[in-house]
Structure 1
Amino acid sequence: MDKPSLKASDSFWIRAKKRFNRKPVRNCLKTLFALVLLIMAVHIGWIANYILFNRENMPDINILLKLELSVVGTIYDENGKTIANLSNEFRWMVRPEEIPPIVEQAFLSAEDKSFYYHNGISWRDIGRAVWINGGHIFDRLLSDRSIDLTPTQGASTLDQQLVRLVYLKDKTSAEDSEQLLYDNYFTRLALIIPILSDIPDINKGWRKIEEARLALWVNEEFTKPDNFGSRQRAKEEILARYLSLANFRYAYGVKAAARFYFDKDLSNFDFNDTDKAAFLAGVIKNPTLYAPRINQEADDTSVIGLRQINRRNAVLDLMVKNRYLSREDAVKFKEKKIPIPTRDMRNTTDAPTVVGETLQEIRRNNLGVGHLFNGDVMIHTTVDLDIQKIAQEACENGLDQYEKRRPEHRAQTQCSAIVLRNGDAAILAEVGGRKFYQGREYRYSDLNRVNRMRQIGSSFKPFVYLTAFMNGWEPDSKIVDSPFPISMGYGRGYHWINNYDRKFLGEITLCEALYRSRNVPTVRLTMALGNGSFEESGMKKVIDTARMLGVKSPFHSDTDHLGRTVYYPTSALGASEMTLLELTNAYREIASGISVEPFIVQRVIGRNGEDVFEKPYTGKPSAIDPGALAMVRHCLRKVVTQPGGTAYSLTASNFSVPVMGKTGTTDDFRNALFIGSTYGLNGITVGTEINFDDNAELGDSETGARTALPIFKEIMGEIYELNLALSPPEFPK
């Protein structure tokens, strides 16, 4: 019978078998295999000894024991409410007692279920990882004859992840992106050989060995009597430090992440927040993949959206497996939506004017803005957030009323407002501009128009009349309201002064001239305070009064033919510029009789609770005669209460808060103001202003009474209606 023919491949295996059966070859292979096993055993023993017993060249344990990170610095209002959280990294440290059980259970289920039972490394997890990853390598070797050392199962404990973040962070990059030093079979095999310890730390295999050694060492150090003593307390501290360092994409640390994604304090999480805890625990595996983007579609069914939901649900399943959660409850929590952050709350605020003013004051006091952004200090301001919201809303409402009359100017006009406490000039609210829209989000303009120089119009007139009262005039003194020309300086001719209504009342009292805001009597009075000439018009005396009331802005001046500095009498009508803040503070001093600079920073507290700065009270009695102050207050009160007063519409509308104040309107209606106060040390002063950034005209008849007064009315009225200030006393008769 013919023998069956052999295929070429069969012939190869037969020849190979014959060669292997030769005794010298077989013995050589056995010897080589035994040598490989011996080398591996020696290496494994060396690695075990290195991890378990080698404590040479260890880093400083105090770095972890006294962990100090760049955290969030907070600006608070006077009642302890948060105005803004500022940081280089949006992070809060969390203490063990602040971690609710449900949060701890979610993270342990997702990352390290045996955390409290091992001493830094989990031998069970290592064995499981070796078995699973070894099977993966063997499968790839059989399927496509390639060696793939990419792990499919991890074994890192939370302790190992912590030491990686603290001690090895600068030496490694993200695990998924690490490459071996040389991509060949020899260097892949060399990963297990400790003698290659001098290879740069991009060697992931060597780093894993170092992680294990450091994790054991940290557990040993934390349980020492001089540190935390008990194993339980040491583990709690390790967990808290890890959860303070973990990256959640937009926030660092679980406490900041809870605030960012859910606007909720971590310590308030309970069983009803299990889905939230599972979400946070799922994110840290890969924040880029598992954390939703800002303004991501809430019903996102894309690969990205499903991946985030599936990761959260996987953590819930792990909580069921670890008996922290029933399967029925897990099903219920899986039905809840993933949180979608609608705004980036890092270094943002609804009151940027307040934040900007606070930062400026910190710089002026040499307290260091960097300390705030590192979380080294907390700032307590004088601002009342409730009053701040009232002022911001009042500005929006006032602008809305104006733009209904002038729709062609919609979204172009600007409002600024300031609220001061009379007794100490503390800033209770400050609005530097309107809010503007970006899609569905908004924030307030961070340009602080409260500190911008603008002409103030008739709101300057009280300085003139106060100067007259300081120089012997009285509210009932007479002044003539009739047209007259004044010299505008050597060789410049004359200018006829007119009133807003183009009418003249003849002889009237000084008080009536002020509350009716008559231009002609005001300029006459300014001239009378001097010798009646352009060179000596009395404006210098008025400026001195303004300086006594804290005004620092320059006044328009000129040089005459003899080289002397002279001031235009028309400056009495508010032609010069000043800021809304200094003007409002001057009215505050008139109302209270106390001279003091406005301020916003009340107290600065260090990270450990120590006092870094506390604002001393610097108020002192006004340098202006109290009798003169009383007379000008009397006349400014009539601006509101007397028919014909420019703000009489307040009384006519049954406004019940007793206030004094003055309107202001500049030429061509480019700026509209109202400044007003309640009486005494416990009162408040409110300044409001509407204009365009480019100094365009607001339009005919857009006076301070029509445009700015409604904003003042809303602010002042709501403050007292909501009892945010002490009940205002009546002005003395």
Structure 2
Amino acid sequence: MRTRGSLFRILGLCLLAGALVAGTLLPVVALAGVVTNEASETVESLSAELADEPPPLVTTITDRNGDPVATLYDQYRIPTAAEEISDAMKWALISVEDRRFYEHHGVDWKGTVRAALNNTSGGDTQGASTLTQQYVKNYLINVIYRNDKAGQQRAQETSITRKLAEARIAIQLETTMSKDEILVGYLNVVEFSRQVYGVGAAARSYFGTTPDKLTVAQGALLAGMANNPSIYDPWSHPERALERRDFVIDKMVENRKLSEEDAERVKDEPLGVLPDGPDKPAANCVGAGPENGFFCQYVEDYLLEHGMKKDDLYTGGYTIRTTMDPVANHAAKESAEQQVDKTEENVANTLSLVKPGKDRHEVVALAANRDYGPDAAAGQTEFALPSAISNVTGTGSSYKVFTAAAAMERGVAGIHDTVQSPSRHVSDVFVGGGEQCPTVARGTRAYCVTNASEGGSGSMTLQTALQTSPNTAFVILEEQAGMRAVLDMANRLGMRKTMASNAATGGAPDPDAESAEARQSQLEFFGPSENSPGKGSFTLGVSPTSGLELANVAATILSGGVWCPPTPIGEITDRDGKPRPLQEEQCEQAVPEGLANTLAVGMSKDDLPGGTAHAAAQGVGWNRPMIGKTGTTQHNGSAAFVGGTPQLAGAAMVFRPDRPYGGLVDGGPGNVRATDGDSGNMFGGKTPARTWFGAVSKILEGQEVLPLPAADPRYERVN
């Protein structure tokens, strides 16, 4: 790969050098005057555009073990060395395009002048370009000007000026590259049909073979196509392709590279291309398949967000080793689909898994019940359900973790301190309640909240409140800690894109939105302002959420309070095998280690009797120390479970992706549906918790049972 990449760069340098100095090498006796001056100007113009730009190559995405997962490309090309191309292929091309290839020095002057004069006088258009000249033209069209239609037209216009410019560069090229290098360079750059470039890709996708095994018939078909790929496409125009192939075979006979007897035998062979079009990999994350596509999509999104240009990603020939654990990703997909059928209308069930650590938070799995792909009728989607801010109705009480952490940090309550949990609470801080709430000023109602059936009443420790999830306790703690502190805690622990997103849609704030509220980030929307004390509903998880970021919150807590970006990247190497650095955010101590460790202990009871996830944990025989928190939104329209062990953290979410507002009904594994109205019976301890425990129990099977960190007394009791 490194040698081939160097060869391509040599061409770029040769083109540039040729454009600058080849004016001294062009015979001007017969073609002097204005024509030569115009050609010189054209060459100088080209010299400003030609650079050390290698041909586009395929970028390969692999799992953490280095096994390929997907390919990304603009041009499907497999670099091929001279010894990897059959003689039949080489001689077929030379015979039909440039039989004097090994005799001239880049330009067939007699043929070039004849063709140029004929074209200028209005006769039939003639080519007479040597393979060296065609190499230059193809390099300009397929590499330098591949995204420039005007440049491509200039590179192939039928004019004396263009022919002379091309000739000057070709002459210089032959002084710096051997004939074999030029021939192989051409065979690596030339376009065939259907986004297939170069003989390596053509051999594989047309015939299911490698270029060293190309037969006379196969080589003749490909050599004939190079003249006009679309016209001689063997699937669209098989009769034309066959006629052209046989023409090339006749030229091989004329060039004494094939006997007449062998030629007639070869002509009897069918085209021999693979049925149903070329066999080539998908050009994007669809090629990762229904199971791995979501992870591939996150890799692409992550790289683009961290400075890589999409064109570079799709043409750079990189090898991107990701952090995806294929075993974990399969278990996550299997568990998500066991709970919710992939074709269930308007129900998405996702699971994101992250490995805790103080120097990296590696994403190991991203899965959904739906398959990744373009066929919606088959339950497929290309929307990044597990990683994007896709759940627009929220994750419910899982956000109470941020209120608990803020209260602990500000000295409001430790995990063993008693907190109040009345059955109903009318806030004297927040406003914005519904008609059932008392009026506190003209046109303004107080914010009031009641406990769901899974909550308690009276008073309890903060640890028990995290286990049983009473709404009133956390709204009261939110009042005491302060809205700004709670929002800041959510951002610090990991909800960074989520908190920066638009509160109404889950997307980036829209600068063109009509209302100021619609342009606000969630930090602004829920936070206190000059005219508002903040919105107390934040702790109840009513806002759009990224499941991956929620998983990373658990990873931050289990990493001693160290936040790291949830990265899918293990290593990136370029086409020459050299490392390609990526600027990622630095890990940071988001909260004191003692606070994080104590919060983990505070969240350690959800899987035990009395906890909201106890039934799901019991269903898989769970017996490991863990942290956990369930959440359910109003009308039971979405729910979540966030949890983790020292080895693995994650979050599962179930929600309505297409028509968000309404209820979800959980009738058990494989029997979850969206309702037409607002009623439902979904809770975080049902589908989401079963999804999380179903996957994580299998992934951790056989691994060491590790304890949670010890609590810090400073955060156990602060009163």
TM-score by length of 1: 0.64
* 3-state secondary structure, aligned to 2:685: helix
Mean Cα deviation higher: 80-89 or 58-67: 58-67
Which one-letter code corresponds to 1:596 in the other structure? Answer: C
Match of 1:640 in 2: 607
Rate the CA distance shift 1:314–1:428 in 2: closer, same or farther, 3 A.
farther
Contact 1:283 1:291 in 2 (8 A): yes
How far did residue 278 of structure 1 move? Answer: 5.1
Which one-letter code corresponds to 2:388 in the other structure? Answer: V
Which residues in structure 2 correspond to 1:121-132 (within 5 Å)? none
Match of 2:401 in 1: 462
Contact 1:91 1:256 in 2 (8 A): yes
Contact 2:620 2:694 in 1 (8 A): no
Contact 1:274 1:333 in 2 (8 A): no
* Cα-Cα RMSD: 5.4
Match of 2:659 in 1: 694
For residues 510 and 330 of structure 1, what CA distance do their matches in structure 2 show? 84
Contact 2:607 2:617 in 1 (8 A): yes
For residues 643 and 326 of structure 1, what CA distance do their matches in structure 2 show? 83
Q: Using CA pairs below 8 Å that are at least 6 residues apart, which structure has the higher relative contact order?
A: 2
Match of 1:5 in 2: none
Contact 2:89 2:214 in 1 (8 A): no
* 3-state secondary structure, aligned to 1:397: helix
1:194-215 Cα distance to aligned partner (Å, 9 max, x none): xxxxxx99667x6998599659
Mean Cα deviation higher: 636-645 or 608-617: 608-617
Contact 1:260 1:345 in 2 (8 A): no
Contact 1:402 1:707 in 2 (8 A): no
Rate the CA distance shift 1:462–1:202 in 2: closer, same or farther, 3 A.
closer
Does residue 712 of the first structure (1) align with residue 692 of the second (2)? yes
How far did residue 88 of structure 1 move? Answer: 5.7
Contact 1:292 1:341 in 2 (8 A): no
Mean Cα deviation higher: 606-615 or 691-700: 606-615
Rate the CA distance shift 1:585–1:371 in 2: closer, same or farther, 3 A.
same
Contact 2:206 2:273 in 1 (8 A): no
1:73-113 Cα distance to aligned partner (Å, 9 max, x none): 63634555666655665556655455455643554465456
Contact 2:616 2:690 in 1 (8 A): no
Rate the CA distance shift 1:647–1:356 in 2: closer, same or farther, 3 A.
same
Which one-letter code corresponds to 1:435 in the other structure? Answer: Y
Contact 1:670 1:692 in 2 (8 A): no
Match of 1:158 in 2: 131
Does residue 76 of the first structure (1) align with residue 44 of the second (2)? no
For residues 480 and 603 of structure 2, what CA distance do their matches in structure 1 show? 27
1:536-570 Cα distance to aligned partner (Å, 9 max, x none): 4755554443344143423564879xx67534554
For residues 122 and 462 of structure 2, what CA distance do their matches in structure 1 show? 96
Match of 1:498 in 2: 451
* Matched residue count: 593
Rate the CA distance shift 1:271–1:98 in 2: closer, same or farther, 3 A.
closer
Which residues in structure 2 correspond to 1:58-457 (within 5 Å)? 59=43, 68-69=53-54, 71-72=56-57, 74=59, 76-77=61-62, 94-96=80-82, 99=85, 101=87, 103-104=89-90, 107-108=93-94, 111-112=97-98, 115-116=101-102, 119-120=105-106, 157-165=130-138, 217-218=171-172, 222=174, 224=175, 227-228=176-177, 234-251=178-195, 253-254=197-198, 257-258=201-202, 261=205, 268-271=210-213, 277=219, 279-291=221-233, 304-308=237-241, 311=244, 322-323=257-258, 337-338=274-275, 340-341=277-278, 345-346=282-283, 349-350=286-287, 365-372=306-313, 375=316, 378=318, 380=320, 382-384=322-324, 386=326, 390=330, 393-394=333-334, 397=337, 400-401=340-341, 410=345, 412-423=346-357, 424-430=360-366, 435=372, 437-438=374-375, 444-446=381-383, 450-452=388-390, 454-457=393-396
For residues 585 and 684 of structure 1, what CA distance do their matches in structure 2 show? 7
* 3-state secondary structure, aligned to 1:692: coil
1:135-156 Cα distance to aligned partner (Å, 9 max, x none): xxxxxxxxxxxx99659x9875
* 3-state secondary structure, aligned to 1:485: strand
How far did residue 246 of structure 1 move? Answer: 1.3
* 3-state secondary structure, aligned to 2:202: helix
| Match of residue 519, structure 1, among 470, 473, 496 | 470
Contact 1:85 1:348 in 2 (8 A): yes
How far did residue 679 of structure 1 move? Answer: 0.7
For residues 709 and 290 of structure 1, what CA distance do their matches in structure 2 show? 57
| Match of residue 547, structure 2, among 580, 595, 599 | 580
Rate the CA distance shift 1:309–1:326 in 2: closer, same or farther, 3 A.
closer
Rate the CA distance shift 1:538–1:116 in 2: closer, same or farther, 3 A.
same
Rate the CA distance shift 1:635–1:150 in 2: closer, same or farther, 3 A.
same
1:404-430 Cα distance to aligned partner (Å, 9 max, x none): 6xxxxx2x3345543333221234455
For residues 536 and 68 of structure 2, what CA distance do their matches in structure 1 show? 48
Match of 1:549 in 2: 493
Which one-letter code corresponds to 1:76 in the other structure? Answer: I
How far did residue 71 of structure 1 move? Answer: 1.4
How far did residue 288 of structure 1 move? Answer: 1.0
How far did residue 464 of structure 1 move? Answer: 3.4
* 3-state secondary structure, aligned to 1:289: coil
Which residues in structure 2 correspond to 1:594-633 (within 5 Å)? 594-600=562-568, 613-615=581-583, 618-626=586-594, 628-633=595-600
Which one-letter code corresponds to 2:473 in the other structure? Answer: R
1:488-525 Cα distance to aligned partner (Å, 9 max, x none): 64342573512235x8576655434323x3325xx225
Contact 2:88 2:216 in 1 (8 A): yes
For residues 510 and 256 of structure 1, what CA distance do their matches in structure 2 show? 65
For residues 558 and 499 of structure 1, what CA distance do their matches in structure 2 show? 25
For residues 135 and 78 of structure 2, what CA distance do their matches in structure 1 show? 16
| Match of residue 629, structure 2, among 643, 659, 662 | 662
Rate the CA distance shift 1:100–1:647 in 2: closer, same or farther, 3 A.
farther
Rate the CA distance shift 1:75–1:536 in 2: closer, same or farther, 3 A.
same
For residues 220 and 170 of structure 2, what CA distance do their matches in structure 1 show? 28
Does residue 484 of the first structure (1) align with residue 439 of the second (2)? no
Rate the CA distance shift 1:618–1:163 in 2: closer, same or farther, 3 A.
closer
For residues 712 and 600 of structure 1, what CA distance do their matches in structure 2 show? 20
For residues 255 and 656 of structure 1, what CA distance do their matches in structure 2 show? 57
Match of 1:38 in 2: none
1:311-363 Cα distance to aligned partner (Å, 9 max, x none): 55776787798359898888777566456147883456446766665566556
Contact 1:670 1:698 in 2 (8 A): yes
Gaps of 5+ in 1: 1-46, 131-146, 171-199, 229-233, 297-303, 405-409
Rate the CA distance shift 1:400–1:645 in 2: closer, same or farther, 3 A.
closer
Rate the CA distance shift 1:217–1:570 in 2: closer, same or farther, 3 A.
closer
Match of 2:616 in 1: 649
Question: % of aligned pairs identical?
Answer: 20
- Structure possessing the higher radius of gyration over alpha carbons: 1
Which one-letter code corresponds to 2:90 in the other structure? Answer: E
* 3-state secondary structure, aligned to 1:287: coil
For residues 425 and 65 of structure 2, what CA distance do their matches in structure 1 show? 56
Match of 1:134 in 2: none
